[in-house]
Amino acid sequence: MTFVPLLVVLASTATAGDVPRSGYFGAGVNLEPLALGPMQAFSGGRAAVGISLQASFQVDLGARWAFRLPLEVGVGGSGDATFSELGLTPGLLYRWRDDAAQRWVPYVGGGLKLGAAGAGRELLGLPLVTTVQSLDLDFDDDDSESDPNFESRLGAFPEVWAGVEWHPNRWFALNLGVAYTYVRVLGTSVHLLHERVGVRFSL
């Protein structure tokens, strides 16, 4: 993993002529308090739809490179074809940015999502688990057992980003982005696609 610090150093020294970092003061510090949009999960030949919420912090490493740290939660589906995720995704962005006053700024990037993800067995294309409980007169039992037909895991999941920023001025922007996350649950691939619109404030 020694290549990661090297990449950050190279990115921080990258410039685009005399273009300063983004933001009203050119500090390159960006806060995106809210981004939301639909989210789809695909697995086992099935699909489910839900909603994704995200907040993120972004710091310019130069005129074009930036370090991005989004925190997100997503949930959707119904019955036993549900999915959910919660994660923090440190990563790098490259922006095609050539002017401090550039209105439209396309970008690509990616990172490693650290968190939890889960999916219902029906969404995974796996047989459902059925349980038959015997008559139990012990009213002190704990009923907080997890759903046997919902499988979850903790881990690190690769994610890639693409989108475009619209800057009406140097301190405010709208971020129109898509993200793809790959997760394996019980040996089954789950593909998560997010489409979000976020508001951003920059210093």
**Mean pLDDT across the chain:** 87
Q: What does the pLDDT look like over 45-89, one tens digit per residue?
A: 899 999 999 999 999 999 999 999 999 999 999 888 899 999 999
Chain Cα centroid distance, residue 110: 9
Average of per-residue pLDDT across 30-50? 94
Q: What does the pLDDT look like over 150-168, one tens digit per residue?
A: 898 999 999 999 999 999 9
Q: For residues 77 and 47, what is the distance between their CA atoms, to the nearest angstrom?
A: 8
Confidence of residue 136 (pLDDT cuts 50, 70, 90): very low
In this structure, are residues 107 and 128 in contact, taking their beta carbons and an 8 Å threshold? no
Closest to 28 in 3D by CA, of 76, 55, 68:
68
Residue bearing the bigger pLDDT, 193 or 3: 193
Tokens of 29: 């510090």
Q: For residues 167 and 170, what is the distance between their CA atoms, to the nearest angstrom?
A: 6
User: Each residue of 60-71: b (16+ CB within 10 Å) or e?
Assistant: bbbbbbbbbebe
Given this model, what pLDDT does residue 17 score?
Answer: 60
